[in-house]
Amino acid sequence: MDNITATIQVVPLNHYILLSAIIFTIGVIGVLIRRNAIIIFMSVELMLNAVNLLLTAFSAYSGDASGQVFVFFIMALAAAEVAVGLAIIVMVYRNTNSIDINVLNRLKW
């Protein structure tokens, strides 16, 4: 375990910020370029995870446990969000026989 702790001290905090920014951006690109509702949902999960990782890194580097408690709450919220969201997707699929989000374009007006 000392070995692992020595590992963290070498990695600068900036690299965690960079990694989280890259993964968050990948999630945003996934939302923008895909039309499958489930894949859009998975991209939202990627974004949530990037934020979680960044919060954990900040918490570990600044020695404050509140950040990790916050990540725990975000995980509980993500589980609730996935359950409701997938139920909505199943409902949409049952009514339109497709999970293409362009079927739902009347929601825009």
Residue 13 vs residues 18, 42, 109: alpha-carbon distances, Å: 9, 27, 44
104 binds another protein (CB under 8 A): no
25 binds another protein (CB under 8 A): yes
- Residues in the interface with another protein (CB under 8 A) total 78
Q: Which is nearer to another protein, 7 or 107 (CB)?
A: 7
Shortest separation between residue 109's beta carbon and another protein, angstroms: 20
42 binds another protein (CB under 8 A): yes
Shortest separation between residue 19's beta carbon and another protein, angstroms: 5
Residue selected from 13, 105, 107, 109 as contacting another protein according to rule CB under 8 A: 13
Q: Which residues of 69-100 are buried (b: 16+ CB within 10 A; e: fewer)?
A: eebeebeeeeeeeeeebeeebeebeeeeeebe
